Amino acid sequence: MQDFADRLSETARDVEALLGDLLAEKPQPGEIARPARLLAAMRHAMLGGGKRLRPALTLEVARLFGRADAGVMRVAAAIECLHGYSLVHDDLPSMDDDDIRRGRPTVHKAFDEATAILCGDALQTLAFDIIAAPETDDDALVRAELVLGLARASGLGGMAGGQMLDLEAESSRLGEAATLEMQAMKTGALIRFSCEAGAILGRADAEACRRIRRYGEIIGLAFQLADDLLDATATPEALGKATAKDQARGKATLVALYGIQETRARLANLVAEAEGLLAPFGPAAAPLAEAARFVALRES
Amino acid sequence: MQDFADRLSETARDVEALLGDLLAEKPQPGEIARPARLLAAMRHAMLGGGKRLRPALTLEVARLFGRADAGVMRVAAAIECLHGYSLVHDDLPSMDDDDIRRGRPTVHKAFDEATAILCGDALQTLAFDIIAAPETDDDALVRAELVLGLARASGLGGMAGGQMLDLEAESSRLGEAATLEMQAMKTGALIRFSCEAGAILGRADAEACRRIRRYGEIIGLAFQLADDLLDATATPEALGKATAKDQARGKATLVALYGIQETRARLANLVAEAEGLLAPFGPAAAPLAEAARFVALRES
């Protein structure tokens, strides 16, 4: 069996190819035209690489329930568009004010601020477009459920709300509970939904959905803890980006609260909890257990 | 029968009440929490009045096909959230840079720029959330179709794309065809979809859908022409906002191309075309004919 890192690169290639198709010049039925500048900005945002962790999670979970088809890849690409929109907007001058993303200029640097706002806006719309289209799943109930799940994970009560809390946190240090809630919203909810979406696509039963949902929460938590840990401990050379940014910005992180040893212990516990949740699925769930270890123990 | 202006005020009250409920403090299932500041910004954007023309169109069309229930009102409110998000983002400093909207400070003035960006983002998400939820329609296929229609009308190939073209037009004057396309995308597509949504909700047959779709295009065209005409001819006092803004910004408008007399003639033709399209529906379509006259001949 390939290891998770290999499957991640394979997913990244496949998702990038599909995103290229979805962001082609030709308008879709119901669209009037695709303005060149906005399309170029969306392609800049979406086709510049990236780990594609969320799509990989959707694919792995769907595979666990016996689904591996073009519809699953579409949902994976839609979730990546939603994630991509959030990066474009978070990078804006009035938000995190970042000039570089994945070694390339951010959208507002490569184009301009207005274009970057519209680019994020249209990427969000595209995410819902892709999911709702009949090609994604024969069953409209599955499509509607996926749209609703994505919306709840990414709006006021999820990702966008979490970014609001994070911006507010820069002026008021948060305690542990508030930091956990902020991160569960800002990054956790969409990662959790990436997993849930695979279960919805695979028609998993209620008990399996519950396990996958909690597995997704754990991956979200582990992802954020590992990220904060790398920010605190890795060298800029190892990480390929600036480190100690959180500290410099006075941002609330759990690593600052727990310390490095305790953070590592918590990450190990999360991996163990993920393995326990996956046990009833037997050996077929090995890739998901490996994904948990990958996310929790990664060094870049 | 009440006239359209009365029904419009009634709709405005009902939509505002539902939006108030949808933007309540309590998180929905699947949401983690509703951060107070972001919720306040969304309420500021959505509960400050407005004509609510789009919701009224959805309601009138659905009524023509025998539907007038809470599900229709939800779709109307969703479309208004989508429209509201576009106003919040269009008002931003890097876009149209407006400080006042409907006599109140714009969201980035009342809050700040980052909050306004997140507010628009979360309003867009909410629009898809509302439509996809089971309460909107028993038939998931109707919900999925509405999500897809709204996405195609408002993303890259619709409203967001139109705003991109409009921003570009400030530096290069557009001819008639390009101006028509820009306006069909920027304002026309969502107005058209407001009408189509009523037909989808009402299970209209293909021929009826075709007529309503074209009717919606006409309303969109008439709306924009009437808007440009008022900008060119009304006094600020009559309109309650600054006039001659388009000219001052060097914006492409059809009134500048056609002249005032020709514009009035075209508006009359659009009303006549709308009446012709509605004729097969008989007297039940009288409110829609009246809506066309209201939009084309309004004086504020």
ipTM here = 0.96
Does pLDDT of B243 surpass 80? no
Within the 8-67 window of chain A, which residues sit less than 8 Å (CB to CB) from chain B? Answer: 27-35, 37-39, 42
Residue B296 contacts residue B225 (beta carbons within 8 Å) = yes
Q: Which of A89, A121, A161 sits opposite B38 (nearest CB)?
A: A161
Q: Span A173-185, mean pLDDT?
A: 93
pLDDT at res. A300 = 73
pLDDT at res. A48 = 85
Chain A residue whose CA is closest to B139:
A141
User: Under DSSP, is residue B25 helix (H, G, I), strand (E, B) or coil?
Assistant: coil
Chain B residue whose CA is closest to A120:
B121
Share of residues in chain A with pLDDT > 90 (%): 85
Measured CA to CA in angstroms, residue B54 lies from A175, B48, B88, B198 at distances of: 44, 16, 17, 11
Does pLDDT of A218 surpass 90? yes
Residue B65 contacts residue B202 (beta carbons within 8 Å) = yes
Q: Which of B149, B153, B164 sits opposite A118 (nearest CB)?
A: B164
Six-digit token pair at A8? 């991640």
Residue A231 contacts residue A279 (beta carbons within 8 Å) = no
C-alpha B18: how far from chain center: 17
Q: How many residue pairs from chains A and B have C-beta atoms closer than 8 A?
A: 211
Which of the residue ranges A19-33, A168-182, B7-21 would you say has the lowest mean pLDDT?
A168-182
Q: How sure is the predictor about B173, in pLDDT bands with cuts at 50, 70 and 90?
A: confident
Which of the residue ranges A24-28, A250-254, B63-67 would you say has the lowest mean pLDDT?
A250-254
Does A125 sit within 8 Å of B151, measured CB to CB? yes
Chain B residue whose CA is closest to A161:
B35
Residue B234 contacts residue B299 (beta carbons within 8 Å) = yes
Does B42 sit within 8 Å of A157, measured CB to CB? no
Q: Span A165-171, mean pLDDT?
A: 87
Six-digit token pair at A240? 């390929």
Residue B61 contacts residue B291 (beta carbons within 8 Å) = no
Six-digit token pair at A93? 């001058």
Q: Which residue has the tokens 């021929």?
A: B207
How far apart CA A107 and CA A114 sit, in angstroms, is: 10
Q: Residue A161: its chain B contacts at CB < 8 A?
A: 31-35, 38, 122
Q: How sure is the predictor about A107, in pLDDT bands with cuts at 50, 70 and 90?
A: very high
Within the 126-185 window of chain B, which residues sit less than 8 Å (CB to CB) from chain A? Answer: 126, 128-129, 131-134, 139-141, 143-145, 147-158, 160-165, 167-168, 181, 184-185
Six-digit token pair at B264? 């009035």
pLDDT at res. B231 = 87
Within the 202-221 window of chain B, which residues sit less than 8 Å (CB to CB) from chain A? Answer: none
- Three-state helix/strand/coil letters over chain A: CCCHHHHHHHHHHHHHHHHHHHCCCCCCCCCCCCCHHHHHHHHHHHCCCCCCHHHHHHHHHHHHCCCCCHHHHHHHHHHHHHHHHHHHHHCCCCCCCCCEECCEECHHHHCCHHHHHHHHHHHHHHHHHHHHCHHHCCCHHHHHHHHHHHHHHHCCCCHHHHHHHHHHHCCCCCCHHHHHHHHHHHHHHHHHHHHHHHHHHCCCCHHHHHHHHHHHHHHHHHHHHHHHHHHHHCCHHHHCCCCCHHHHCCCCCHHHHHCHHHHHHHHHHHHHHHHHHHHHHHHHHHHHHHHHHHHHHCCC
DSSP B103: T
How far apart CA B115 and CA B21 sit, in angstroms, is: 21
Residue A118 CB partners (closer than 8 Å, separation 6+): A38, A41, B89, B160, B163, B164, B167
Regarding the domain delimited by B4-297, which CATH topology (the fold level of the hierarchy) does it fall under? Farnesyl Diphosphate Synthase (1.10.600)
Share of residues in chain A with pLDDT > 70 (%): 93
User: Under DSSP, is residue B100 helix (H, G, I), strand (E, B) or coil?
Assistant: strand
Does A29 sit within 8 Å of B163, measured CB to CB? no
Strand partners, A104: A101
Chain B residue whose CA is closest to A113:
B94
Task: Give the gap in angstroms from C-alpha B6 to the nearest C-alpha of chain A.
Answer: 32
* Cα-based angle A137, A139, A142 (whole degrees, multiple of 5): 80
A112 touches chain B (CB under 8 A): yes
Does B38 sit within 8 Å of A164, measured CB to CB? yes
The 10s digit of each residue's pLDDT in B185-229 is 999 999 999 999 999 999 999 999 999 999 999 999 999 999 999
Average pLDDT over chain B reads: 94
Determine whether B213 is exposed, middle or buried from the number of CB atoms within 10 Å of its CB (0-12, 13-18, 19+): middle
Radius of gyration of chain A from Cα atoms?
19
Q: Span B167-185, mean pLDDT?
A: 90
Task: Give the gap in angstroms from C-alpha B71 to the nearest C-alpha of chain A.
Answer: 15
User: Under DSSP, is residue B244 helix (H, G, I), strand (E, B) or coil?
Assistant: coil
How far apart CA A221 and CA A233 sit, in angstroms, is: 18
CB atoms within 10 A of CB A244: 12
Residue A202 CB partners (closer than 8 Å, separation 6+): A61, A62, A64, A65, A66, A67
pLDDT at res. A8 = 93
Six-digit token pair at B296? 């084309």
pLDDT at res. B90 = 97
Does A160 sit within 8 Å of B31, measured CB to CB? no
Task: Give the gap in angstroms from C-alpha B144 to the nearest C-alpha of chain A.
Answer: 5
Q: How sure is the predictor about A170, in pLDDT bands with cuts at 50, 70 and 90?
A: confident
* Cα-based angle B33, A297, A246 (whole degrees, multiple of 5): 55
Six-digit token pair at A169? 């946190």
Mutation to test the B interface, candidates A148, A166, A172, most B Cβ within 10 Å: A148
Chain B residue whose CA is closest to A140:
B141
DSSP B158: S
Strands, E, within B206-275: which ranges? none
How far apart CA A278 and CA A219 sit, in angstroms, is: 13
Which of the residue ranges A14-18, A172-176, B213-217, B245-249 would you say has the lowest mean pLDDT?
B245-249
Q: Residue B158: its chain A contacts at CB < 8 A?
A: 31-32
Break chain B into its structural domains and give their ranges: 4-297
